[in-house]
Each structure stands twice: as C-alpha cells, then as structure tokens.
C-alpha cells in the first residue's frame, strides 16, 4: 500500500516559537544515548537544497512520485535525464560542518545512532557509522522486475554511453538528486534497462507516494525505543516517515529536541526547537562539549 504524498504543512496558530538557546541540546548530548534524525536541511550547507525552507525546491519543483514513475515511460525518461545530470553535481557534494559534528559526537559515544531522511550519503562521508538511510540512497539502483541492485556509478556510465553529447545546463539542483530541465532539454534521452533482466531501473530511494520498507521502519522504531532522547536536525517533519518517530519518542516520555530554522510539524512534541543554522550551532556545541571535529575526511 502506498502513502499519499504530503508536500506541505501549515503551522497552526499558537505554535510555540523557536529559541536561540542550544543549552538543552548540549544537556542531552552530555547525557548520551542521543538518536539523531536528520533531514534535507542538514545538507543545505553542502550546496544541496532542501524541500521546504527558504528557497526550497518545492517552491518551483514537484518531485516525481512512485506512481508516475512506474506508470509512465515518458515520465521515467524525464526523471532519468534530470537525475543523470543532477548526479554529476550531487555526487561532488562534500560533508559540511554539521555532518562532521554529528560524526564527532558519535565517535565520542554521545549518540545511540543516526537515522537520516537524506539520500546523499554525506553522514557516512563525514565518518558517521551505522547510519540508517530511511529513504534509501542514490548510490544504488534497483531493478523493479528482478530486484537486483547495481552501483549508481555503473548505471551513470551506461547512461553516458547511451547519450553521447548530453550536456544541457540545468536551472537548479533538487534534494532528490535530479536537476531542473525543460522538455526540450530532455529531448530523446535514452533510458538504459537492467543489465541482468532488461527490466525497469529505479534509484534505490523512496519516492514521494512510496512506502518506506517495513523492516527499515521497525529497525528505526527499535532505535527510538533504545534511545535516551531524539535530536531532529534540519527536518520539517512534514512527511509521516520521520514524524512517526518523533511521536513515538514523545509517547515514551523521551525528550525530543529539534534544531531547525523554521517551525516543524513535530514542534508540539518537542522540549525545544532551536531556530539557528545547523553547521554553526553543531560546531559550537562540539566546542562547548570539548568534542574535536575532524576535517573533511575526503579532502
């Protein structure tokens, strides 16, 4: 069964405003057992836009839904053309200070785990271990017919070979890794099939309107149950895939702390929402807790 996509949320009147005091987050980290849940805002400082913040992609772009992708060959052509171009930029993104702070907290033993709604792999690139990719990863491609997986870099090579000279200039990049192209720019872009069975290929990510695999959800629920507190970083919590874990933590009496500039759908369940930029805030918290940050491990 597929979820109906939730693309927007309007904050209700009377919602408690955010604060600029990160001390409750520092207290939670000092206590340890913090489970991090990160969203698209975590990666904006790496040059990847978010969906709903100021300048977010939903202001100009409607994401591909699972239903449209599976039902319409022309939609798949548009998606793969845009995604193929976007992958070149997306794949060059580097972890920012926020990612490195989360990795440092993990090395210090302050975290019980990291769940991310992002598909960019930047937490792992920064050195975080055991990251649960709630919405999958753009690093992998799955065949909808035989279920086999293929590394994205290999599919990208086959797409490049099938579309020599495909070098349009994109208007913008989107959080799901595709790029804004016109129909004229997409042109007659050729989609490649599964190398094993010639079936339809799809990035191994959860599209809007698609359900997160049940086993992954249960794994995340177990992480929430074992955590001392839940720290939400850069997520509006508009979609239920992340909000359900906030609700679970709140029902269990676990502190929920949010760092996000804008109001979120989880604010009513949170002990506090710190309305400050993620990178500088997490860097300052690491300094306050005497947790050293490594430089970008990929440099």
Give the start-to-end residue ranges of the domains of the chain.
18-48+95-135+211-299, 58-92+137-205
Tell me if 165 is assigned to a ligand binding site. no
Tell me if 194 is assigned to a ligand binding site. yes
Q: In the annotation, is 135 catalytic? A: yes
Beta-sheet pairing, 149-151 with 132-133: unpaired
Cβ-in-10-Å burial (0-12, 13-18, 19+) of 184 comes to exposed
157 or 187, greater pLDDT: 157
Tell me if 54 is assigned to a ligand binding site. yes
Predicted local distance difference test score (pLDDT) of residue 170:
61
- pLDDT (average), residues 167-185: 69
- pLDDT (average), residues 202-231: 95
Tell me if 46 is assigned to a ligand binding site. yes
Residues 6+ apart with CB under 8 A from 274: 18, 19, 20, 21, 22, 24, 25, 257, 258, 259, 260, 281
104, 290 contact by CB (below 8 A):
no
240, 3 contact by CB (below 8 A):
yes
Task: Return d(Cα 79, Cα 194) in angstroms, integer.
Answer: 16
Predicted local distance difference test score (pLDDT) of residue 55:
46
Asked if pLDDT for residue 60 goes beyond 50, the answer is no
Shared fold status for 18-48+95-135+211-299 and 58-92+137-205: no
> CB count, 10 Å around CB of 214?
8
Dihedral in degrees, nearest 10, Cα atoms 219, 117, 135, 245? 40
Task: Return d(Cα 52, Cα 212) in angstroms, integer.
Answer: 20
Tell me if 201 is assigned to a ligand binding site. no
What's the chain's average pLDDT?
Answer: 88
58-92+137-205 CATH choice from 3.30.1600, 3.90.550, 1.10.443, 1.25.40: 3.30.1600
Tell me if 148 is assigned to a ligand binding site. no
What pTM was estimated for this model as a whole? 0.88
pLDDT digits (tens, 9 = 90+) for 136-165: 999 999 999 999 999 999 999 999 999 998
Predicted local distance difference test score (pLDDT) of residue 173:
65
Task: Return d(Cα 246, Cα 171) in angstroms, integer.
Answer: 35
Structure tokens at 219: 């794994």
> Catalytic: which of 61, 123, 135, 269?
135
Cβ-in-10-Å burial (0-12, 13-18, 19+) of 183 comes to exposed
- 176 sits in the region (left: phi over 0; alpha: psi -120 to 50; else beta) called alpha
Tell me if 220 is assigned to a ligand binding site. no
- Quick one: fold of 18-48+95-135+211-299? Rossmann fold (3.40.50)
pLDDT digits (tens, 9 = 90+) for 64-80: 889 999 999 999 999 99
Asked if pLDDT for residue 259 goes beyond 50, the answer is yes
Distinct helix (H) and strand (E) counts, the chain: 10, 9
Predicted local distance difference test score (pLDDT) of residue 16:
81
């Amino acid at each position: 069964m597929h979820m109906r996509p939730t693309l927007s949320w309007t904050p209700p009147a009377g919602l408690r405003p955010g604060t600029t005091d990160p001390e409750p987050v520092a207290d939670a980290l000092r206590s340890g057992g913090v489970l991090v849940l990160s969203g698209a805002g975590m990666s904006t400082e790496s040059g990847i836009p978010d969906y709903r913040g100021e300048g977010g992609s939903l202001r100009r772009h409607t994401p591909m839904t699972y239903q449209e992708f599976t039902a319409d060959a022309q939609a798949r052509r548009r998606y793969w053309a845009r995604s193929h171009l976007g992958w070149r930029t997306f794949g060059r993104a580097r972890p920012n200070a926020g990612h490195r702070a989360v990795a440092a907290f993990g090395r210090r033993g302050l975290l019980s785990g990291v769940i991310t709604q992002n598909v960019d792999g930047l937490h792992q690139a920064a050195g975080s271990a055991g990251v649960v990719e709630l919405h999958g990863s753009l690093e992998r491609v799955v065949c909808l017919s035989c279920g086999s997986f293929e590394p994205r870099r290999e599919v990208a090579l086959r797409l490049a070979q099938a579309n020599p000279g495909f070098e349009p200039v994109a208007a913008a990049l989107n959080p799901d890794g595709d790029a804004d192209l016109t129909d004229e720019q997409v042109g007659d872009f050729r989609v490649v099939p599964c190398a094993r069975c010639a079936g339809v290929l799809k990035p191994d990510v959860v599209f809007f309107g698609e359900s997160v695999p049940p086993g992954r959800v249960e794994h995340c629920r177990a992480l929430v149950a074992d955590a001392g507190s839940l720290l939400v970083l850069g997520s509006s919590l508009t979609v239920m895939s992340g909000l359900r874990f906030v609700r679970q933590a709140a029902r269990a009496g676990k502190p929920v702390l949010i760092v996000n500039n804008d109001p979120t759908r989880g604010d009513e369940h949170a002990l506090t929402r710190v309305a400050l930029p993620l990178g500088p805030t997490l860097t300052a918290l690491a300094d306050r807790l005497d947790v050293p940050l490594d430089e970008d491990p990929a440099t």
